[in-house]
Structures are given as C-alpha cells and as structure tokens.
Amino acid sequence: MPNRVPMKKNSVDLIWSIGELSSLFEKRTNMGGFLQDVVERIAQHMESDVCSVYLYDEEADTLVLRATHGLNRELVGQVQLRLGEGITGTALKELRPIREARAGKSPRFKPIPNLGEEQYESFLAVPIKRGLNRIGVMVLQHHQSDYFDVQDARAIQAITSQLAATLENVEILMELHGSRAQPEQSVAERQRLFVGRPLSEGIGRGSTVSFGQRGELIHASPVGGGNAPEGCARFEAALRKAQEQLEVLQIEIEDDFADVASLIFNSHLLMLKDDQFSGAMIREIENGASPEQAVITVVNQYVTLFSQSRNSRVQEKTQDVKDLGHRLVRNLSGDPDVEGDYRGQVLLATELYPSELVKIAAQQPEALILQDGGVTAHIAVLARSMALPVVLCRDERLFGLPDGTPVLVDAVEGNVYVDPEQEVIDRYRESLDAIQQAVAVDIPEQTISADRERVHLLANINIFHDARAARKNKAEGIGLYRSEFPFIVQNTFPTEEEQYRIYRQVIESVEGKPVTMRTLDVGGDKILPHADLHETNPFLGFRGIRFCLAHPEIFRDQLRALLRAGEGADLRLMLPMISSVDEFDSACALLEECRRQLADEGIPHNGKPLVGAMIELPSAVEMVHVLARKAGFLSIGSNDLVMYLLGVDRANERVGHMYIHYHPAVLRALKRVAVAAARARCPLSICGEAAADEHMLPFLLGIGIRILSVEPRQLPRLKQLVSRISIRDARGIARRMLSFERVEQVRRYLESNAS
C-alpha cells in the first residue's frame, strides 16, 4: 500500500467546492489573482504540497505557468512548455491525466531550473479541456511518493472540467491575449528563460551573434574613420591572418569531415584573394573609412547582390561573404588571441543550409539556436554528428537580441538563459565538469542476452565523423551508412571518383567488419538543395530508389563508386524505399551492369556484395516473403515504416502523438517481416529508431530480430539492456504484445511491465 496521509477531503466534497471556486472568480477582477486563489484552494483541499495551473497559448503553441502554490512564484508567466514536453505537456498533448509515483524517475519528467520541484516525488497532471480545445493543465505535486490515487485524478478532472468552462469565458480569454500582447519591455528583464526544443544535445555558453540569410552585416560598436595608410596596413594584416586561419581550418576539418566538408572553405579563400573584393575595401579606406567600416560596406554590397539572385547557389554565398566579413572585423580587433571564428559565441540563426551548419560547426561556436520553422531532418542529424549543441526555439524575441548578449544554452533540456545569473552558470559548470569527469564505461565487444544468445549491435553512420564514435562504442560494424549527406551538404552530385574516396574512407574505418552502405535516399525530408525537387507531398513523391531509378546516370556513378570502395570488404548494399519487387529487380539489374563494366574495365571492385532491401513501406511488408527470397538481407526502416503504416508524420505536432512504435498494426507488420525472413533464411536487421526504444527491445528480440543498428551514442545503453533480457522471456512478451488489439492495451501492458 502506498504510504500516504489519509487527510484529503473526499472527492465529493471537492467537487462540491467548485461552487466555492466560481465565487472566487466573481470576487476577482484579474485572471492572475483568480487562478492564484484557485490553486491555493485546491492545494488546501487535496492536502497537496503543490498545485499549479498552466494555460495553453495556442498561437504560440506553449503552455505557460500562470499560477502556483508551492513552487517559485517568480517564474509565473516565465516557465513555458511545449505540447508533449515533460509530464505536463504530455498530459495536454495526449489529453489524459498522468500520475507518476516518482516523477524524477519518469523519462517524461522535465526539470525546470529554479522552479523548486526537486523535493516533490508524486506528480499528477490533469489536462484542462473543453470539447476539442486544449485549455491548460492542472498539476499537483507532493513530497511523498505515490501520493495521488485514481480517485484524486478523477476529482481533479471534475474540477478542471468545470474550470474549463470558466476559463473559456470570453472576457478571460481576451485578458489572456491582452497579456500576451503587452508591449515588450527589455527582453532580458521580462524573459530571461526561453524554453525551446533540444535538437542536438550539449551545453554551451557565450555571447550571441546573429547568423542569417537576409540581414546585412552589422557591427556591434560604431567605428569611426581614421588614418588611411595606417588603416590599409591594419586591413592587410587582418586579410593575411584570415587567409592563414582559413587554410588551417580547411586542413583540420579535412581529416574528420572529409565526406561532407571537402574544400568547404574554398569559396571564402577565393573571395579573399579576389582583388575586386579586397580592392574595394582598400578603396573605401583610402577614401577615409576605417577598416571596419570598409569591410562592412563592401560586404553589405555583396550581400545585397547575392541575396537578390534567383539562383539558390548564389544566394547561399550570401552567408559566406558575411562570414568572411565577420572574420575580418574580428581580426581587426587587434587582439592576438581572437581567432576570427565563432569560439566563445552562440549563433542565432533563423534558417540554415546543411553546408552552413558544417562550416559553422568547424568554427567551433559554443552552441546554436535555430528558429523552429521548416527545420529538416538532416540538420538535426548533422548537428548531432558534429556534436554541436542546438536548441530550436520559435520565440522571435530571442532572435531580436543584440549581438554580444550573454546566453547559456542547455541543449539537453532545451532551455536558453539570457544574461544568466551566476547561480545558473555555476550549476551548469558543475554538470559540465561531471560529464567531463565521467569514467568511460567498459563497453563489451560482443552483446549477449541474459540467456546467452548472441545479438549484434551495429552503428548508423550519417557522416564519416560518426565512425570514430562507432568504434569507441564497440559497434560490430555499420548497419546503415546514410550516403546522402555528402550530396546534401556539398550541394552537388559528387563524381564517381569523389564518392569512391568518401566511401573507401568509411569502409576502411570498420577494419574488416560488415559495412552496410545505403544507396542515395533523397526526397521526403532529405532535400537536395540543388535538385529542384519541390513537391506538394514529398513523402509520397520522388523518394529514395524512385529517384535513383529515374536517374540511372546518377545511380550508376554511385553504384560503381560503392563497388570499387568495397573491394576486399564485407560490403552490403542496401536499397531504400523499395515499394515493389520490380524496383528491387531493376536496381539489381543496374548493379549487375555496373559490376560487369568494372570487370571489363579491369578496375578492382567487390564482385559479390550482399544486396538488401529496406522494409519501409506497407507494400514492402505485403511482398516481404518474395523480397526475403530474393534479397541478401532485409533491414526494417522503422522510421518510415511507422509513418507510412499509421499515416502519421511525426514532425507534425497535431498528430505526432499518434506516431507509436508499439501500435498493434506496427507490431503485426514487424512480426510478419520477421516470420518471412526466418522462413527464407534471410538475415534481418532493424535500423530505424525503434531499435533503440527500450520498450520495443524485448518485442524485437522476441520476434527473432538479432541485428540492431542504432546511433553510435546509443550503443553502450543498448548493449547493457540486451544483456539483462532473456530471449525466452522476450518471446513471451512479444506474444502478449501481439495479442492486443488496442493501442491502449499495449501501452498499459508496457507501463505495468516497466514498473
């Protein structure tokens, strides 16, 4: 029995007290005061340490703390959560009460700095809704664990349903909107904490600098004119320094990021050497401008020119020229320690090309804050691969901050602190030190289940740089190399020779272990900026293998490069987005043609790679028995398979909560694939994110999957999890999960198993 104090008023009493609540409202003239009275009264009735109300601002898509009893009231109006974020955001997103016996242990719990929640174990979040409208969430917390029971949840539901009607009152909503529209005071005064979404984990602190396509280069402090000969000399020195810096940078990143960053600073270097560019700056200085002013004037002339172009590749140069301007201005500061790059700075960007992300990461900023609009999947993937902390935030005010504003970016939780207090900085310093001092866990080479069955854990590699992490975390090979990144980042179709060099490097990095190279998978959310693939419905459009089969000239280059790079290696070639046996056969025919050509030309290559099909579409599941007979292996791409089976785009927040790995339809499809593969004795792996979902792991092992391919950083955790699972038990769990017809039944089963 839970250890609790039986002093709460019973539910009937509490519901009766609603009349009391309405009368509170009549007494109050402002909503903040009313809500405060409500939370006080409910906390008192429920004998609860904490009662808080969050209201949902639909337009801004955030839940805002509006009143609290028991937590830090200074944060009222400041704490913001997104739909689905934390236990509170999840309760509203899924429109169901959530009770947690030990909130701190829940993976959904989102700690909010300075709110004072640490001491409270029990957590009850009840959505406030009216019809289909989401209005907010009422949260109760108590220091004892498992304090709230089902009756409490029902009582609070009864209250919130009544409150909802009151809150929907036109006057109140008008006031709510009015309060949002209040004129902004200083951003730093009114809003020091911005809550966003972590895109790539990490923590960074520095001063802001804007990075954008549209605006002109501006310099924080005004700079006056000066003595021309002296100005010219300073400018020449800054120019030489920039050139040296860029050459060093190019060499440094060539090693680690050769597949995506080859010659990436070349355009900067070319521009620096261009007489028209630097010559125009010298002329400005000779005409009386200071070197800083000269740089800014000329850079902005180029910015105007480039940004007006209709050609996206020319537009992309806009940021190159601004970057260069930034570097020259920093070099002109005269401080010998200033490197001209982004060290010590946090970049604020409203939009970003993948190639820019790579350039930015190479210049080592502390973090990046990106405006949350139209961010495509590969930006997230790349940022993670490049270990750059990134937070997505919609709040425009953040992007209006003047350059040089101190910020601390917590890209683990998604918080951005503007002008952070010393206390916040100290807290993060401690956690940073703890991360750095963490002793590396001893990661086993092999993965063996609790009942001693062998399971193979491989790595998903997005760019070459990930190969190092894969080796460090003892991957048994590469289960998925997403070959599209060099195409996307370099903004071009690399030649056969260029691709050969990139693939060879990846293949050599695994030192004889199996390496699964996926052929080009573009379209959907992986847009090639240069291929002009604008489609109304890209996820149902020109994706993956369809693109390659329609462009045999591009596909042949890649297949030849892959075969050549795989010479002497345990090479597997994987075909994405296969929707029919016909597509699989066509791709195999083209591959055979390339193999024969290479043989005729006497070029060394791998003559017998295993060729596999990705199972990512419902049509592939239907035909899996045939594909399993034909293919050398199958790999489940659950990211796409779940999306297409359920018809849910998980990036769409309206339906994202319906993207469920353990949906009975998904479980049945996975089981069919596993059965077909086993019958045909066709090796089967899974390389989508479901492979790293600990709720899914017993199921996947239970249906017979023994090869899992995940992001390198997931490997240590997954190896440990597998070692605690007995395959016998996993089979029982899988059978039970397959017996359910409803999502809710599976969810409850997983929840009860987890506790």
Which residue from 206, 325, 414, 688 is in contact with ligand PEP, where contact means CB under 6 A? 688
Number of residues counted as binding Mg ion (CB under 5 A): 3
Q: Which is nearer to Mg ion, 417 or 485 (CB)?
A: 485
Q: Which is nearer to ligand PEP, 566 or 688 (CB)?
A: 688
Find the binding residues for ligand PEP in span 74-133 (CB under 6 A): none
| 519 contacts 562 by C-beta, under 8 angstroms | yes
Task: Report in angstroms how near the CB of residue 643 gets to ligand PEP at its nearest.
Answer: 8
Pairing of strands 454-461, 447-448: antiparallel
Distance of CA 429 to the CA centre of its chain: 24
DSSP secondary structure letter of residue 246: H
Stretch that binds ligand PEP, among 240-248, 353-361, 583-591, 634-642 (CB under 6 A): 634-642
Site string for ligand PEP, 564-603 (x = CB under 6 A): ----------------------------------------
Site string for ligand PEP, 521-560 (x = CB under 6 A): x---------------------------------------
Which residue from 640, 663, 714, 722 is in contact with ligand PEP, where contact means CB under 6 A? 640
> For residue 671, how many other CB atoms are within 10 A of its CB?
18
Cα 77 to Cα 65, 278, 479: the distances in Å are: 5, 50, 47
Site string for Mg ion, 598-617 (x = CB under 5 A): ------------------x-
Cα 304 to Cα 131, 291, 293, 318, 663: the distances in Å are: 50, 20, 16, 8, 51
Separation CA 220–CA 285 (nearest Å): 20
Site string for Mg ion, 690-719 (x = CB under 5 A): ------------------------------
> For residue 362, how many other CB atoms are within 10 A of its CB?
21
Q: Which is nearer to ligand PEP, 447 or 460 (CB)?
A: 460
- Cite the DSSP H helix spans in 332-395: 354-362, 377-385
639 binds ligand PEP (CB under 6 A): yes
Stretch that binds ligand PEP, among 228-236, 429-437, 637-645, 713-721 (CB under 6 A): 637-645
523 binds Mg ion (CB under 5 A): no
Question: Tokens standing for 79?
Answer: 């704490």
- Say what angle helices 312-331 and 354-362 make with each other, to 10 degrees: 20
Burial of 542 (0-12, 13-18, 19+ CB in 10 A): middle
Stretch that binds ligand PEP, among 255-263, 404-412, 584-592, 635-643 (CB under 6 A): 635-643
3-class DSSP state of 741: coil
Q: Which is nearer to ligand PEP, 377 or 603 (CB)?
A: 377
Q: Which is nearer to ligand PEP, 156 or 375 (CB)?
A: 375
Stretch that binds Mg ion, among 254-262, 268-276, 391-399, 629-637 (CB under 5 A): 629-637
Find the radius of gyration of the CA atoms of the chain.
29
Q: Which is nearer to Mg ion, 518 or 560 (CB)?
A: 518
Cross-sheet strand order for the sheet of 193-195: 193-195, 415-418, 406-410, 203-211, 345-349, 367-371, 390-393, 197-200
Binds 638, which of Mg ion, ligand PEP, none (CB < 5 to 8 A, cut-off by type)?
Answer: ligand PEP
Stretch that binds ligand PEP, among 134-142, 189-197, 351-359, 631-639 (CB under 6 A): 631-639
637 binds ligand PEP (CB under 6 A): yes
| 3-state helix/strand/coil string of 269-299 | HHHHHCHHHHHHHHHHHHCCCCHHHHHHHHH
Q: Which is nearer to ligand PEP, 129 or 482 (CB)?
A: 482
711 binds ligand PEP (CB under 6 A): no
334: left (phi over 0), alpha (psi -120 to 50) or beta: left
Phi and psi angles of residue 259, each rounded to the nearest 5 degrees, phi first: -70, -30
Which residue from 66, 465, 482, 671 is in contact with ligand PEP, where contact means CB under 6 A? 482
Q: Which is nearer to ligand PEP, 290 or 635 (CB)?
A: 635
Q: Which residue of this chain has its Cβ atom nearest to ligand PEP in the complex?
A: 688
Residue type at position 144: Q
Binds 88, which of Mg ion, ligand PEP, none (CB < 5 to 8 A, cut-off by type)?
Answer: none
Find the binding residues for Mg ion in span 637-656 (CB under 5 A): 637, 640
3-class DSSP state of 235: helix
Closest listed residue to residue 460, CA positions, set 703, 714, 682: 714
Phi and psi angles of residue 123, each rounded to the nearest 5 degrees, phi first: -140, 125
The catalytic residues are: 378, 687
698: left (phi over 0), alpha (psi -120 to 50) or beta: alpha
Question: Tokens standing for 71?
Answer: 């937590």
Task: Report in angstroms how near the CB of residue 635 gets to ligand PEP at its nearest.
Answer: 8
Number of residues counted as binding ligand PEP (CB under 6 A): 10
Q: Which is nearer to ligand PEP, 55 or 646 (CB)?
A: 646
Binds 482, which of ligand PEP, Mg ion, none (CB < 5 to 8 A, cut-off by type)?
Answer: ligand PEP
Chain residues in the site for ligand PEP (CB under 6 A): 480, 482, 521, 616, 637-640, 687-688
Instruction: Summarize as ranges the residues that interact with Mg ion (CB under 5 A).
Output: 616, 637, 640
